[in-house]
Amino acid sequence: MKIRLKKGKQNELIYLTKGDLTWKELAKNLNISEAYLSGDLKREKILTSERLYEELCSICGVNFDKFIINKLNNNWGQSKGGLNSSGSTIKLKLPEFCEDLAEFVGAVLGDGHVCSLKKDIETRKIGVYQIRIAGDLRLDKEYHDYLAEISRALFGLNPGFILTEKNNERFLCLSSKELVNFFVDMGINPGNKIINQSTIPKWIYKDKNYLRACLRGLIDTDGCIHRMSKRDSHLLRINFTNHDLKLLEDTRNSFILLGFHPSKIINNQKFFISRQNEIEKYLKEIGFSNKKHRDRYKTFKSPLR
């Protein structure tokens, strides 16, 4: 839901919450983009989500309910009384927090990219609001088909696909300004994920099933399962590699919260789950949605020749 306050009250609530904090500090506390917070949200060009509204009220300790004019569905906008958008005019169905959404978020954090490019008359760039998830052209078709079904169920959007044989790449693409804003509201900002320090949204930590689903999405995209070595061919290991140190640390800590014992982070790039009983625990409690990982696991159960 979107919260519509009396004119000037959204701005007042944000400044009241900010207090002596910098915009960067407040944005970090709220797990959203600094530019989004101090820009369109502060200027009331975008309505606050119900979740963000409640968090603002909680932090500043003041209830602004008496200033609420109405509560609007998430797909409100872009027509009567809505935002003037250069993005998609498709009516978007935004979901409640759930396991499928948590898994999709994990996939976006792993191999995804959030793009928000506005129209620029001078450079002639066209407004693009899109979420892309990259994959291997040969090995990730079934997985992208799986994510496509999730995106249809969650958002009511039919994704497009870009296939690049030269680079052996494929991309699942969802174009929607509302969807991009939804991800920004969760703290997953457009542009370079490493610079933005995008990481697991706070709501996912509220339910261990959400956390398991998100980790599944992360491992399915930026993880793999492999043998320890030819000498120890019966021993398996799950690896997670990512260059966003914040996400790397949060992913490792999430496994610890779920009772796993991952290795230390190596070269600020990766960690492993190596205990054999925890490999089985992963398969039982989290599992793989990506067929290429399931196929690899099956081959590893067969002895080396």
Average pLDDT over residues 73-102: 61
d(CA 256, CA 297): 23
Say whether pLDDT at 213 is over 90: yes
Kind of pairing, strands 112-117 and 169-175? Answer: unpaired
Q: What is the pLDDT of residue 189?
A: 87
Say whether pLDDT at 220 is over 70: yes
Residue 86 placed within a domain: no
d(CA 237, CA 128): 40
Question: Which has more confidence, 214 or 91?
Answer: 214
By residue range, what is the domain housing residue 21?
2-72
| pLDDT tier at 289, thresholds 50, 70, 90 | very high
Return the CATH number at 173: 3.10.28.10
In this structure, what is the dihedral angle of CA atoms 37, 13, 46, 210, given to the nearest 10 degrees?
70
Say whether pLDDT at 92 is over 80: no
Q: How far is CA 71 from CA 39, 53, 58, in A?
A: 22, 11, 18
Q: Are residues 113 and 195 in the same domain?
A: yes
Say whether pLDDT at 291 is over 60: yes
Q: Are residues 22 and 6 in the same domain?
A: yes
Average pLDDT over residues 281-300: 94
Average pLDDT over residues 263-272: 95
d(CA 247, CA 226): 22
Average pLDDT over residues 181-188: 91
Q: What is the pLDDT of residue 73?
A: 59
Residue 94 placed within a domain: no
Q: What is the pLDDT of residue 127?
A: 55
Q: What are 253-263's pLDDT values in tens digits?
A: 999 999 999 99
The answer to whether residues 168 and 138 touch, using CB atoms and an 8 Å cutoff, is yes
User: In total, how many domains does the chain have?
Assistant: 3
The answer to whether residues 107 and 132 touch, using CB atoms and an 8 Å cutoff, is no
DSSP states along 201-237 = -GGGGG-HHHHHHHHHHHHHHHEEEEES-STTTT-EE
d(CA 201, CA 102): 9
- Percent pLDDT > 90 in the chain is 50
Q: What are 271-286's pLDDT values in tens digits?
A: 999 999 999 999 999 9
Q: What is the DSSP letter of 95?
A: P
Q: What is the pLDDT of residue 89?
A: 47
Q: What is the pLDDT of residue 91?
A: 63
Q: Average model confidence (pLDDT) for the chain?
A: 85
Q: Among 34, 57, 72, give the residue marking a domain's end.
A: 72
Q: Among 175, 199, 223, give the residue marking a domain's end.
A: 199
Q: Are residues 238 and 250 in the same domain?
A: yes
Give a three-class secondary structure readout of 47-64: CEEHHHHHHHHHHHCCCC
Q: How far is CA 237 from CA 218, 263, 290, 292, in A?
A: 16, 11, 17, 15
Q: What is the pLDDT of residue 260?
A: 97
